[in-house]
Amino acid sequence: MPIEDIIDAAADDLPLGLSFLTSALLTAEDNEPVNQKWSSLDVSTANRYADCHIHSTLCGHAKHTLSEMLEGIRVSGLRAAIFTEHLPLPEEIDPNREVSMRFSDLEPYVATLKETAEKFDYLRSKGEDAPRLIVGAEADWLNQDPDWSRQSVKEARAAGVDVVLGSVHMLDGWAFDDPAQVEEWDRRDTDEVWDFYFSEWIKAVKSGLYDVMAHPDLPKKFAFIPADPREYYHEAAAAIAGAGILCEVSTGGLRKPCKELYPSQDFLQELVRLNVGLTLGSDAHSIPEIGYGFDYAAEQLLKTGASHQSLPTGPVHEGKIELLLL
Ligand SMILES: [Zn+2]
Ligand SMILES: [Zn+2]
């Protein structure tokens, strides 16, 4: 089918347009009251950035569907975007598909993204604004089932996923970042949880499975933070520098009780000192969260001496990384 026909067909599938987006932006009730410093993406600066971490309702816990999110990305003004849906988790961990996509969704997901990426390329070739779109996925490092972690990334790459984010959201099956399981933090020793987390995070870094490590100090989400976490940052930064993969600077933390970027300023400083390539990710689960707080994140990066955002366009061990000036 000629690309123009694909575009027209896709346009029929996406009866959304700007009026939909405006109403989505006005009903961002899940977000904290708008903070001027960390506000949603500013269209006047959006073209400087790539948002490398975005979800949809395919994972069971987002607000907008894949086609709605893609339309949000199209009109965002961003330079590039990597869609990173959660790869499937074992049945016993996610029986009701509340935190991960179904296996049966993987191929249609990749096909939709590839088709949309072509559509966006075509629009750009006609002088219209549309970001470059890259097919990615977010994969869980499961300490109790590393074989599952390896297998799911293998299947994702075989299905055509170009960029894989590595995340540790669970420790022995406890989803320590899940608001529904936050009471467990009161029963645990914060230092022990952080020890456990960073030992698994470093295993994930060294596994060779991932291109980017997402939200690197996620255990601080609910503000359970050891008195002096700097030792963790040093070890983690050394491990990721040694592995030669990228680390995400996530604005997701700005919308959470910790109210700061993942990684924290001290961690970020150490990553920059060791020349670790840094991506920007919003972890958007709704349209208003796309590119959220990127001007603030860029300011923090510049303060630590970083000058560029890394954009992985494929497996980073094959050198598929581009740099965007901040
Ligand atoms: Zn995540
Ligand atoms: Zn995510």
Check: CB of residue 275 under 8 Å from CB of residue 307. no
Q: What is the pLDDT along the chain (326 residues), one digit of tens a residue?
A: 444 444 444 444 443 444 444 444 434 444 444 455 667 788 889 999 999 999 999 998 899 999 999 999 999 999 999 999 999 999 899 988 888 999 899 999 999 999 999 999 999 999 999 999 999 999 999 999 999 999 999 999 999 999 999 999 999 999 999 999 999 999 999 999 999 999 999 999 999 999 999 999 999 999 999 999 999 999 999 999 999 999 999 999 999 999 999 999 999 999 999 999 999 999 999 999 999 999 999 999 999 999 999 999 999 999 999 999 99
Q: State the distance from the centre of ligand 2 to the C-alpha of 137, rounded, in angstroms.
A: 9
pLDDT of residue 208: 98
**What pLDDT is attached to residue 42?**
85
CA of 174 to the centre of ligand 2 (A): 17
Ligand nearest to the CA of 262: 1
Angle between helices 17-26 and 66-74 (to 10 degrees): 100
* CB-CB neighbours of 255 under 10 Å: 20
Distance CA 247, CA 241 (A): 9
- Of the listed ligands, the closest to the CA of 166 is 1
Angle at 209 between CA 164 and CA 67, to 5 degrees: 15
Count of CA atoms in the C-beta half-sphere (13 A) of 79 = 17
- The alpha helices in the chain, defined as continuous H runs, are 3-13, 17-26, 66-74, 103-125, 146-159, 184-187, 190-206, 230-243, 265-273, 294-304
Structure tokens at 105: 């969704």
SS3 35: coil
Task: Quote the ligand 1 centre to 18 CA distance (angstroms).
Answer: 28
* Predicted pLDDT at 13: 44
How far does the centroid of ligand 2 lie from the alpha carbon of residue 4, in Å? 33
Q: Which ligand is nearest to the CA of 282?
A: 2
d(CA 74, CA 63): 17
**Residue 205 Cα, ligand 1 centroid: separation in angstroms?**
15
Tell me, in angstroms, the distance from the centre of ligand 1 to residue 15's CA: 29
Cα separation, 55 vs 39, in Å, equals 19
For each of the domains in the chain, give its residue range(s) and CATH number, in order of start: 3-16+50-325 (3.20.20.140)
Supply angle C-alpha 141, 145, 148, rounded to 5. Answer: 75
Q: Give the per-residue pLDDT at 96.
A: 87
